[in-house]
Amino acid sequence: MTDIIQLLPDHVANQIAAGEVVQRPASVVKELVENAIDAGSANIQVVIKDAGKTLIQVVDDGKGMSLTDARMCFERHATSKIKTAEDLFSLQTKGFRGEALASIAAISHVELKTKQEDEEVGTQIKVEGSKVANQDVCVCPKGTSVSVKNLFYNIPARRNFLKSDAVETRHIIDEFQRVALAHPQITFSLFHNGGELFQLPETNHRQRITNIFGGKTNEKLVPVTEETEIVEISGFVGKPEFAKKSRGEQFFFVNNRFIKSPYLNHAVVAAFEGLLKDKSYPSYFLFLKVDPKSIDINIHPTKTEIKFDDEHALYAILRSAIKHSLGQFNVAPVLDFDRDSNLDTPYDYKNRSAEVPQVEVDRNFNPFQEENARTHKSKSSSNSLSSNFKRERGESWESLYAGLQSEDSPKPDSDFREIEFESEEVTGNLFQSPEDSQEKSTFQLHKKYIVSTLKSGILVIDQHRAHTRILYEEMLKNITVSAAVSQQLLFPLNLQFNTHEIEILKQLQDSLEQTGFVFSEVKGNSVEIVGIPTLISESEVEILLEQLIADFENDVPDNGFSQTDLLAKSLAKGMAVKSGTLLNNTEQQHIVNRLFACKEPGLSPSNRSVFVTLTVDELDKKFM
């Protein structure tokens, strides 16, 4: 009998291990940044090329490595972070497996430069597919720089499996945000293809969250703090009215490590009970400190799931801490969804002292005026969306609603109902009967609001938000249920975009075609368009697509649903009639009627109030 078992050569073992550690460029970013944090760095810079497919470089100013360590760090199970099995129960570092660098070096070209503070010169090492290709002394600042080039160069299957640059970049941004959120005392920056994506100065948690998620985030945050024997909780939850339609901003950190925990997520959602609308998700940024002994990080190779000793207690503490905060910051009592909210003043307007309404009458306005009289004027500023709105109206205002459901079937069809958010039967209360709504008169205020009467008072509608809501629902329907019609262009439209933007457009191409765009070519740096949605004019296409790309760059969704949602939001916003646009009576009525045939007429797609009501009772009070 011959023996057939043999030990795998190191480079093969490393390649196999790499499969677990490195799924995509974002995993490399995570591992390298975590190493930089473990090295006690104050500044960490991440540089990416082509979504990390060409280059991922992490530069830190941490403690650096000696020459021997610089050689050693690429060995499998080489770590400075634990020495004995007991150390596993008192982990204070991110890494401990000693696998990351060995794995990364097995599947890419790595260049390491490192220098310790008290050394004169540093060490430079190049490793290609686990083999040291070159080693030298080098002059470099204190700290470590690791460049990872041509990831998966020797595993073509893996490389081909990578998603578009837009998607891979999104994953990188996600990982980057997670570590950056957990370590506000470290300065971070992220560059992609020469452009700066993030520049985050040293600060506190609140400011770091705001720096990452935008200036308005600060006012949406409610602090949460709790100290018990088993856990210390700090951080923030978002106010319920800012809850999102997607799960984007939900972060748990345990001992400064980002984790996913459906169970703890449930605790948060439970704390928000009764405060959230259906299918909306609260934001949270919660930092839990527990005794390292009480957790086992080892259960998941990429370490985003952990096991707690006393999960039940943690659940209860977390829930009550958040409930307490929501109550304390007066968030809870104000919202009360059990009441019939149909006639309520929208939340934003509650408790505001009444302002004397400033009624400005448009003296030129004459609801009985002939169509053509004003279309004339409106042609002057021919470039804006609003002018087009009017221009089209001049020819036939119906074209504005082409593709929308016809008037006689104001009820959304059943297919749509299934895929949509919950429906609030606002229609029933606002418009008692169809005849009723026919008679309703409307007028326009300040070229911005449509005012309409109700049985019980008056209704003031923000025309832009209302139209955005209408188009948004229409767009969602086009993308998911039945495609919209498009208008053929006489001459193809040729637009130029950069590679990154083209990537985004490619990703959206199918959905865009559902809304009425027809692309004949999306290649290199240009896009050729031969058909566009009926609601827009050729001159607006470029602006609309640019806005769309910008929206996707800011908020890249990682699943199909939120992608569709964002696309619909972005296009609806761009196509909707703007404030400052004069609307004739028919258009006003049309918007009102279409709005109340919507699933959620009360909120714009970005969750802002579309209309306010003023009841006779409220009016009576003002006259007392």
Task: Give the residues lining the site for ligand ADP (CB under 6 A).
Answer: 31, 35-36, 39, 60, 62-65, 73, 78-81, 95-102, 144
Give me the least distance between CB of 16 and Mg ion, in Å please: 18
Structure tokens at 282: 């609260």
Give me the least distance between CB of 82 and ligand ADP, in Å please: 8
Structure tokens at 389: 């709105």
* Binding partner of 78, given ligand ADP, Mg ion, none, CB within 5-8 angstroms per partner class: ligand ADP
The smaller minimum CB distance to ligand ADP, of residues 44 and 326, is found at: 44
The smaller minimum CB distance to ligand ADP, of residues 74 and 552, is found at: 74
Scanning 35-43, 307-315, 487-495, 525-533 for contacts with Mg ion by CB under 5 A, the matching segment is 35-43
Best CA proximity match to 255, nearest among 280, 228, 286: 286
* Binding partner of 73, given ligand ADP, Mg ion, none, CB within 5-8 angstroms per partner class: ligand ADP
Q: In whole angstroms, what is the distance from residue 116 CA to residue 126 CA?
A: 18
* Binding partner of 592, given Mg ion, ligand ADP, none, CB within 5-8 angstroms per partner class: none
The angle subtended at Cα 268 by Cα 265 and Cα 271, nearest 5°, is 150
The smaller minimum CB distance to ligand ADP, of residues 101 and 385, is found at: 101
The smaller minimum CB distance to Mg ion, of residues 100 and 321, is found at: 100
The smaller minimum CB distance to ligand ADP, of residues 146 and 536, is found at: 146
* Binding partner of 65, given Mg ion, ligand ADP, none, CB within 5-8 angstroms per partner class: ligand ADP
Give me the least distance between CB of 99 and ligand ADP, in Å please: 6
Give me the least distance between CB of 78 and Mg ion, in Å please: 10
250-254 and 284-289 as β-strands: parallel, antiparallel, unpaired? parallel
At a CB cut-off of 8 Å and minimum separation 6, what does 594 contact? 401, 404, 470
Give me the least distance between CB of 179 and Mg ion, in Å please: 12
* Binding partner of 96, given ligand ADP, Mg ion, none, CB within 5-8 angstroms per partner class: ligand ADP
The smaller minimum CB distance to Mg ion, of residues 146 and 224, is found at: 146
At a CB cut-off of 8 Å and minimum separation 6, what does 287 contact? 182, 205, 233, 234, 235, 253, 256
The smaller minimum CB distance to ligand ADP, of residues 37 and 532, is found at: 37
Give me the least distance between CB of 103 and ligand ADP, in Å please: 8
Best CA proximity match to 363, nearest among 587, 582, 589: 582
Give me the least distance between CB of 101 and Mg ion, in Å please: 7
CB-CB neighbours of 388 under 10 Å: 23
Q: Is 601 in the site for Mg ion (CB under 5 A)?
A: no
DSSP label of 584: -
Give me the least distance between CB of 226 and Mg ion, in Å please: 31
* Binding partner of 36, given Mg ion, ligand ADP, none, CB within 5-8 angstroms per partner class: ligand ADP
The smaller minimum CB distance to Mg ion, of residues 95 and 605, is found at: 95
3-state secondary structure 382-399: CCCHHHHHHHHHHHHHHH
Q: In whole angstroms, what is the distance from residue 394 CA to residue 373 CA?
A: 9
Interior/surface letters 113-129, b for 16+ CB within 10 angstroms, e for the rest: bbbbeeeeebbbbbbbb
Give me the least distance between CB of 158 and Mg ion, in Å please: 21
* Binding partner of 609, given ligand ADP, Mg ion, none, CB within 5-8 angstroms per partner class: none
Give me the least distance between CB of 256 and ligand ADP, in Å please: 15
The smaller minimum CB distance to Mg ion, of residues 254 and 529, is found at: 254
Q: What are phi and psi of 165, to 5 degrees?
A: -55, -40
The smaller minimum CB distance to Mg ion, of residues 14 and 452, is found at: 14
Best CA proximity match to 462, nearest among 338, 571, 356, 606: 606
Structure tokens at 450: 């449509």
The angle subtended at Cα 48 by Cα 44 and Cα 53, nearest 5°, is 140
* Binding partner of 405, given Mg ion, ligand ADP, none, CB within 5-8 angstroms per partner class: none
Give me the least distance between CB of 472 and ligand ADP, in Å please: 46
The smaller minimum CB distance to ligand ADP, of residues 125 and 426, is found at: 125
Q: In the window 54-113, what residues touch Mg ion (CB under 5 A)? A: 95, 100
- Which residue, judged by CB position, is nearest to Mg ion in the bound state? 95
Structure tokens at 90: 């008192």
The smaller minimum CB distance to ligand ADP, of residues 85 and 359, is found at: 85
- The correct pick among 15, 35, 280, 283 for binding Mg ion (CB under 5 A) is 35
Q: In whole angstroms, what is the distance from residue 449 CA to residue 611 CA?
A: 9
Contacts by 591-594, CB closer than 8 A, 24 or more apart: 591/450, 591/461, 591/463, 591/466, 591/467, 591/470, 592/437, 592/440, 592/442, 592/450, 592/452, 592/461, 592/466, 593/407, 593/410, 593/437, 594/401, 594/404, 594/470
Q: In whole angstroms, what is the distance from residue 424 CA to residue 600 CA?
A: 6
- Which residue, judged by CB position, is nearest to ligand ADP in the bound state? 95
What is the size of the binding site for Mg ion (CB under 5 A)?
A: 3
Give me the least distance between CB of 297 and Mg ion, in Å please: 13
* Binding partner of 400, given Mg ion, ligand ADP, none, CB within 5-8 angstroms per partner class: none
232-238 and 526-533 as β-strands: parallel, antiparallel, unpaired? unpaired
The angle subtended at Cα 71 by Cα 172 and Cα 157, nearest 5°, is 40
Residues making contact with Mg ion (CB under 5 A)? 35, 95, 100
